[in-house]
Amino acid sequence: MRLRRILLIKKIKAIKIIFAILCFLLVGELIVYKYILPSFSSPKISVTGLSSYTPEDFAEKLAPFSNANWFDFDVDQAAAVISNDAGIDSVVVEKHFPDKILIKVEERKPVAMIFLMDNGISSALEIDKNGVIFPQRAAEVNDNSYMPIISGLPVEYMAQGMRIPLKYRPLIDQIARIKSLPQQYFASVSEICVLPKDTGNYELALIPAQAKVKVLTDRSLNEEALKYMMIVLDVVNQLGSNVTEVDLRYGSVSYKTR
């Protein structure tokens, strides 16, 4: 009787050991298939913060990394490749075990537009609040109804990430401040012409959207100046359609007729 009890106990222990081994193997297999193997395959890339770009655009940029597994994926090099795009303001690339690559981007937000000639073709480019010039995206074409066009800037060619000359950065800052206001002031201004002066400074000529009149002003472009311009144009329009130029410089108002 005692021998049977001993054999039964040994049998139960053996069953427990076998069960523990099977559980260990099962857990090990789950770890291998859920964590280890995915890390050695192509990682899943997720991009957030897109507005004018598409995931396909980033898939093309990251094509050189397509054969890299999660362990070999170089996040610093990937961030450098993405940052090389003039339309990207900032980017963060992070690894998340076992097989995810998360990319957070911030696109440049345009505040103005310029047109440059390239091989005889006029191309639309955009300028952000920091004065960085970057190509216009196709997705943004219909969103630029209140985007002022700047002409007269001494920019003759486009290079990745180039900025407008330092002297004109205050103008871009003024435009960015006006665009941040709830009122759409640039719905009334279609073009801002930069007029260089012999002294090295510059003045501005504003082209209203609804009037064939050029408005000369100094470099102080702000909400008060635009309100004053609109009031003056209302008065000028009452004078007739022969007015071609209004001068708001030097603290007085004058105008020219045909």
| Residues 104, 89: Cα–Cα separation, whole Å | 11
Q: What is the DSSP letter of 52?
A: S
Question: Do the Cβ atoms of 42 and 69 come closer than 8 Å?
Answer: yes
For residue 14, give the H/E element and its range: helix 2-31
| Domains, in order of start, for the chain | 44-107 (3.10.20.310), 110-257 (3.40.50)
As a whole number of angstroms, the distance between CA 6 and CA 11 comes to: 9
pLDDT the model gives residue 107: 94
| pLDDT (0 to 100) of residue 136 | 85
pLDDT of residue 81: 93
Cα 221 from Cα 5, distance rounded (Å): 99
pLDDT in tens, 207-249: 988 777 889 998 889 899 899 888 888 887 777 667 888 888 8
Q: What is the pLDDT of residue 80?
A: 94
Q: What local confidence, expressed as pLDDT, does residue 119 receive?
A: 74
Residues of the chain with confidence (pLDDT) below 70: 1-11, 14, 22, 25-39, 138-145, 156-160, 240-241
pLDDT at residue 211 in the model: 74
